[in-house]
Amino acid sequence: MSAAHLYRTLVIDDDVCIHKIFGSMLSPALIQPPPVNPLGAAAADAAHPRATFPVFEIDSAFSGEQGLAYVQKALAEKRPYAMAFVDMRMTTGWDGIQTIGEIWKECSDLQIIICTAHTDFTWHDIIKQFGHTDRLLVLKKPFEVMDVRQLAYALAEKWNLFNQARSHLQRLQKLVTRRTAKLRKTNLSLQHKIAQLKKAQEEQQQAEQQRRMMEMQLRQAQKLESVGHLAAGIAHEINTPTQYIGDNIRFLEKSFARVIPLLRRQEPLLRAVKAGEPTAALVAEVEQTLAQCDLEFLLAETPRAIEQSLEGIHNVARIVRAMRDFSHPGTGEKIEIDLNQAVENTLVVAANEWKYVATLVKDLQPDLPHVLALPGELNQVILNLVVNAAHAIADVVGDGSGGKGTITISTRRCGDWAEIHVRDTGTGIPEEIRDKVFDPFFTTRPIGKGTGQGLAIARSVIVGRHNGALSFQTRVGIGTLFTIRLPIQAAHADQPAREAA
């Protein structure tokens, strides 16, 4: 059993009881499984390997100012915090909003969970203050033990994946730089050594093989980066329906408790009526109970609560199903896929990227034939185009509070080709950089906001791996249209052979 990861966690609250609550909820003694009998430990571990749980090292700060000092000290010691639980209301000093702002000036990667039981600040107010970010979640009081643990587990895993992906990507970028320099040197040498053509060709083949391996590693690193970036947004998408499902179930619980006295008074009344006994007193009790339980209100609201709960369960299932299909590792071989379903899954996974800044318009051809493709890599290409479209629109509309742009996704059959169109109403691409957008490591984004690999890998996947085409049309100030073209004929040519088999 490998050692559990240790995640430093900071709780900022002026209530001593809150610190004790978090300490008990995230205590290793409660999270870790009970010890195995030493006499049977080896056999038990061999039959049922034990899971590794994260361990949380919790520090307590009783004001925003003290919390900032803890963060500064942790950075100086090079032992940063993975997450911080921050109370929105504090009796002295900074409130939660000011505390978060000051902490993020020192440590912009710290994940923050706002703890509040009040409505002083709406989610729109928080977004207006900090912008759309995957580093911020809201936890409503009173806390549920499982909610806190699952949230802590998810954020710990996200923090761990983010650091792994960043470290891995840095190593790969250095390796690509070194390999690129070596390729350039080899090409210069080939120009001067025509006589050694055979040897040079062998070296070039080896370099090409290494380049393909590095491209594969870069695609995997980008996928990890995307999953880490989208994790908080997906958690937020799932959290919304689960909250109102919980609210409706609690309403149904209270409603049923109010109906029980009425139901219990029906039986004595029924027996009295059947026996011909006086019923005036029983009728009065039933009428009084009926008035107390407000039956008309319950009859009107209960079906609505059930309908909303079923809708919430459907939404959660839809998000989980899209995540499962989107992140399926595949077998490395092309299979027939439904492009419309691939688009739908990607839009669900990336919803938190576009829904605040853009209105989505879908125009998917219902009878679009299936194509042979690598599902994971094609999903990543569609995701890159949708996220790029959302970012281009955000450059125009900001946070979307003054109006949104439009992202239009359409699919069409064009002869022996299936096409996916992604159109946005963003800034457009300036003419002077249009011939560079597919170049590796070319990006117009600030440092830390993009690696410049997205479109380069997208073109490699579509053209090199699928024998397709990736092109764009753009007008500055109007927007951009990206078009993916994939061959249909290959998928249909294999159909008679499969039917004969």
| pLDDT (0 to 100) of residue 204 | 77
Do the beta carbons of residue 467 and residue 459 sit within 8 Å? no
Comparing 51-60, 211-220, 373-382, the range with the smallest average pLDDT is 211-220
User: How large is the average pLDDT for residues 161-188?
Assistant: 84
pTM over 0.75: no
Between 11 and 269, residue with greater pLDDT: 11
Neighbours of 402 (CB within 10 A): 7
**Residue 63: its pLDDT value, please?**
92
The pLDDT tens digits of the residues spanning 302-353 come to 888 888 888 777 767 766 766 666 665 555 688 898 999 989 988 888 888 8
What burial class does residue 448 get, using C-beta atoms within 10 Å of its C-beta: 0-12 exposed, 13-18 middle, 19+ buried?
Answer: exposed
pLDDT at residue 143 tops 80: no
Average pLDDT for the chain? 79
Q: Average pLDDT for residues 207-234, to the nearest whole number?
A: 64
Contact partners, residue 44, CB within 8 Å, separation at least 6: 36, 37
Give the C-alpha distances (Å, rounded to integers) separating 474 from 71, 349, 461, 477: 45, 26, 22, 9
| Contact residues for 258 (Cβ-Cβ < 8 A; gap 6+) | 292, 293, 294, 298
pLDDT (average), residues 12-37 = 71
User: Looking at residue 221, what is its pLDDT?
Assistant: 57
User: 418-437, pLDDT tens digit by residue?
Assistant: 999 999 999 999 998 888 88
Q: What is the pLDDT of residue 75?
A: 92
CA distances from 441 to 95, 166, 354, 379 (A): 42, 15, 24, 21
SS3 content of the chain, % helix, strand, coil (to 5): 60, 15, 25
Which whole-number Å values give the CA distances from 69 to 88, 90, 102, 171, in the listed order?
Answer: 18, 17, 10, 33
Could you tell me the pLDDT band of residue 265, with boundaries at 50, 70 and 90?
A: confident
Listed range (4-13, 73-82, 285-294, 477-486) with the worst mean pLDDT = 285-294
Residue recorded with tokens 């979640």: 137
The stretch 222-226 carries a mean pLDDT of: 57
HSE on the CB side for 161, CA within 13 Å?
Answer: 19
Position 386: which residue type?
V
Confidence label for 139 from pLDDT (cuts 50, 70 and 90): confident
Asked whether 393 and 358 are in contact (CB, 8 A), the reply is yes
Cα gap 419→411, rounded to integer Å: 6
Instruction: For residue 27, report the phi and psi dihedrals to the nearest 5 degrees.
Output: -65, 135
Q: Which residues of 210-240 are buried (b: 16+ CB within 10 A; e: fewer)?
A: eeeeebebbbebbbbbbbbbbbbbbbbbbbe
**Distance, CA of 457 to CA of 438 (rounded, Å):** 8
| Superfamily (CATH H level) for 335-499 | Histidine kinase-like ATPase, C-terminal domain (3.30.565.10)
Q: What is the pLDDT of residues 45-85, one digit of tens each?
A: 555 555 566 888 889 999 999 999 999 999 999 999 988 99
Neighbours of 457 (CB within 10 A): 22
* pLDDT at residue 450, rounded to an integer: 47
Residue type, 419: E
Higher-confidence position of 13 and 194 = 13
Contact between 345 and 324 (Cβ < 8 Å): no
Would you state the structure tokens that stand for residue 10, as one six-digit string? 């900071």
Which pLDDT value is given to residue 301? Answer: 85
Q: What is the per-residue pLDDT for 407?
A: 95
Kindly tell me the burial class for residue 188, based on how many C-beta atoms sit within 10 Å of its own C-beta (0-12, 13-18, 19 or more): exposed
Lowest mean pLDDT among 66-75, 275-284, 364-373, 440-449: 440-449
Single-letter residue type at 416: D
Structural domain boundaries of the chain? 6-143, 162-327, 335-499
- Nearest 5°: the CA angle 209, 213, 215 is 115
Query: What percent of the chain has pLDDT above 70?
Result: 78
Q: Is 447 helix (H, G, I), strand (E, B) or coil?
A: coil
Digit-coded pLDDT (tens) for 392-401: 999 999 888 8
Question: Which one-letter amino acid corresponds to residue 396?
Answer: V
pLDDT confidence band for 210 (50 / 70 / 90): confident
Q: What distance in Å separates the CA atoms of residue 184 and residue 206, rounded to the nearest whole number?
A: 14
**Which residues of 32-135 form beta strands (DSSP E)?**
55-61, 83-87, 111-116
Structure tokens at 214: 């590095």
C-alpha 399/C-alpha 131 separation (Å) is 7
**How confident is residue 229, by pLDDT bands cut at 50, 70 and 90?**
low
- Span of 140-144, 249-253, 471-475, 483-487 with lowest mean pLDDT: 140-144
Most confident among 56-70, 132-146, 169-183 (mean pLDDT): 56-70
Answer with the residue of higher pLDDT: 35 or 65: 65
- Higher pLDDT, residue 454 or 22: 22
Helix (H) or strand (E) holding 325: helix 295-326
Assess whether pLDDT exceeds 90 at residue 411.
Answer: yes
* Residue 367 DSSP one-character state: T
Longest dimension (CA), the chain: 119
CA dist 384 → 217, 458, 461 (Å): 17, 8, 12
Tokens of 188: 């210069």
CATH superfamily, domain 6-143, is Response regulator (3.40.50.2300)
